[in-house]
Amino acid sequence: MNNQPIGIFDSGVGGLTVASAVMEVMPREEIIYFGDTARVPYGTKSAETVTRFSRQIIRFLLSKNVKVIIAACNTVSAVSLKQLRKDFDIPIFGVVEPGVDSALAATKNNKVGIIGTAATIKSGAYENIMHEKNGNIEVFSQACPLFVPLAEEGWEDTLVSKLTAEKYLEPLVEKGIDSLVLGCTHYPLLYNCIKSVAGENIELVNPAKATAQCVYDYLISKNELNEEDKIKEHKFYVSDMTDKLDIICKKTLKNDFPLEKIDIERY
Amino acid sequence: MNNQPIGIFDSGVGGLTVASAVMEVMPREEIIYFGDTARVPYGTKSAETVTRFSRQIIRFLLSKNVKVIIAACNTVSAVSLKQLRKDFDIPIFGVVEPGVDSALAATKNNKVGIIGTAATIKSGAYENIMHEKNGNIEVFSQACPLFVPLAEEGWEDTLVSKLTAEKYLEPLVEKGIDSLVLGCTHYPLLYNCIKSVAGENIELVNPAKATAQCVYDYLISKNELNEEDKIKEHKFYVSDMTDKLDIICKKTLKNDFPLEKIDIERY
């Protein structure tokens, strides 16, 4: 067994949905979380910049003695993961591959939709991995840049969100998809709105849980699960202490955790 | 006379509207522009982080031997300007004070509206300066976090933008304002949409031109205007080379300028 913590990072607070899934699937694991709230969002930035920011974060997490790292950010997973795995020895998990596996398990007609940030969609990462695993799958993708600010504005139940979702999703619905990957950790916050446009016949796939399961399987296979039965001291770091951060954390994690600000540019 | 360039910076490309106004008002001045496209937006971040980023940028501009600096970003002008003026010897101009002067010149009933990012509105900077200059002014302000992503999505003529503008602006219109400050450099891109909701009786105030005029007055007073009559070699730097950057530059500046990427975190 191995009682070192699990490192999880995201461009901001969206990755807390993955942290929450890790806590549920592996309640004995300790978590070191980093959210890059000073430089959020990543989805509009170039692959080179996203990779550079991710390297700094991984160096920070390594300084905290983590045993594995989860890039709980679709953009990082889509555009930087291959390079990061070359750069560092530690096992690094992304959310794209587990998301693909969940979508392949969910679809019955082999028509899958993907929604995400501009960078994630432009990378073609979901599409490529899906085709590697199943050559018969038809993939339809759509960047939805307004979903993150709508979620952060708390407008999930407004007509503006409904019309925005229609504009983004109707072309996918018309293609006859039967499953839709929420390829950005913020999107589950708009679940009801997206579901109302997608309709009953389209299953919404959230990669967070599948990612936690994937890390669990790995740790089991390496005999590295933490078996200590004591109260966990999860730690949450951010690069900027912005408004409402504690509220969002509490809402996502169903608990109060202290947040600490660090200067990520030093790593 | 002084032929050193003028430094202009913004969190991204919005400040190009100010650069464009500077070119118009002072056609003989050379411009060094920096847009922090790797860390944009600033409007959702803390004052401390915005000030830290601004210090790095000012150090970069000083390395380019500029004679004055324009913080062509409402968030920086609103939350960091006082501190930056303490930290550096060079004259630093913001967009808030010229925006206030324009609004005071425009209003006839002394009821002024301000729209901007969350950070700008929360700072109360427009309101405070306006009250210092005229104790009889009533100021009504509203943060509009969705306007920047709507402008960047190119959705200025959609029903989504119309409904969003209604949601943000109707409370201000109901207060009877007769002038409205566009307190974010992106907002002029939504001019028609904002105007259609504000109506004919509300004058929209764009601080960009007043800012350029303010810098012109300063340089005249110091006898530091550039009088050289040669073709100007403006230089545009960014911290990330993202998609569509050259298109936005060309659209705003009505000309092609080469963009160079630099690592701002080193400054």
Percent of chain B with pLDDT over 70: 100
pLDDT given at position A192: 95
Class in CATH terms, A96-207? alpha beta
Which residues of B fall within a CB distance of 8 Å from A37? 45
Contact assignment for B164 to A160 by CB distance below 8 Å: yes
In a mutational test of the B interface, the residue from A11, A40, A46 whose CB has the highest number of chain B CBs within 10 Å is A46
CB contact under 8 A, A243 and B163: no
Q: Which of A37, A153, A162, A246 to mutate to test the interface with B (most CBs of B within 10 A)?
A: A153
| Local confidence band at B170 (pLDDT 50, 70, 90 cut-offs) | very high
Across the range B238-261, mean pLDDT stands at 86
Q: Which of B13, B39, B51, B123 to mutate to test the interface with A (most CBs of A within 10 A)?
A: B39
Instruction: Compute the average pLDDT of residues B150-172.
Output: 94
Instruction: Say how many CB pairs under 8 Å bridge A and B.
Output: 74
Asked if residue A128 has pLDDT above 90, the reply is: yes
Mean pLDDT computed over A171-200: 95
Nearest residue of chain A to residue B164 (CA atoms): A160
Query: Do the Cβ atoms of A94 and A207 come closer than 8 Å?
Result: no
pLDDT interval class at B259 (50, 70, 90): very high
Q: Which of A144, A184, A214, A249 is catalytic?
A: A184
Q: What is the pLDDT of residue A176?
A: 97
Q: Report whether pLDDT(B5) > 80.
A: yes
Is the pLDDT at A254 greater than 90? The verdict is no
A184 is catalytic: yes
For B106-137, the pLDDT digits (tens) are 999 999 999 999 889 999 999 999 999 999 99
Fold of domain B6-95+209-266: Rossmann fold (3.40.50)
Taking CB atoms and an 8 Å cutoff, what residues of chain B touch A242? 44-46
Contact B145 A163 (CB under 8 A): no
Q: List, in sequence order, the alpha helices (H) in A73-226.
A: 74-79, 81-87, 96-106, 118-123, 125-133, 147-153, 159-174, 191-198, 207-221
Contact A45 B150 (CB under 8 A): no
Sign of CA dihedral A12, B38, A53, B265: negative
Give the pLDDT mean for B186-211.
95
Q: Looking at residue B244, what is its pLDDT?
A: 75
The predicted pLDDT at position B250 comes to 85
The stretch A68-81 carries a mean pLDDT of 97
3-state secondary structure A6-38: EEEEECCCCCHHHHHHHHHHCCCCCEEEEECCC
pTM: 0.90
CA dist list (Å): A186 to A89, A97, A150, B98: 29, 18, 10, 38
A102-117 pLDDT per residue, tens: 999 999 999 999 999 9
What does the pLDDT read at residue B73? 96
Res A244 pLDDT > 90: no
Please judge whether A149 and B149 are an interchain contact, meaning their C-beta atoms are less than 8 angstroms apart: yes
Place B198 in a pLDDT band, splitting at 50, 70 and 90: very high
Per-residue model confidence (pLDDT) at position A249: 84
Chain A nearest CA to B77, separation (Å) = 18
Residue B243 has pLDDT above 80, yes or no: no
Catalytic: which of B144, B184, B214, B249? B184
Q: pLDDT confidence of B31, banded at 50, 70, 90?
A: very high
Q: Which residue(s) pair with B55 in the sheet?
A: none
- Among A residues 136-175, those touching chain B with beta carbons less than 8 Å apart: 145-146, 148-150, 152-153, 155, 158-160, 163-164, 167
pLDDT at A96 over 80: yes
Give pLDDT, residue B252.
83
Mean pLDDT of chain B: 94
pLDDT of residue A5: 97
DSSP state for residue B4 in the 8-state scheme: P
CATH 3.40.50.1860 domain range(s) in chain B: 6-95+209-266, 96-207
Q: Give the domain A6-94+209-266 fold.
A: Rossmann fold (3.40.50)
Catalytic position from the list A73, A144, A214, A249:
A73
| Residue A74 confidence (pLDDT) | 95
pLDDT at residue B248 tops 90: no
Q: What is the pLDDT of residue B222?
A: 96
Q: Could you say which of A44, A164, A242 has the minimum Cβ distance to residue B45? A: A242
Domain(s) of CATH 3.40.50.1860: residues in chain A: 6-94+209-266, 96-207
Active site residue B184: yes
pLDDT, averaged across chain A = 94
Question: Which is higher by pLDDT, B176 or B186?
Answer: B176
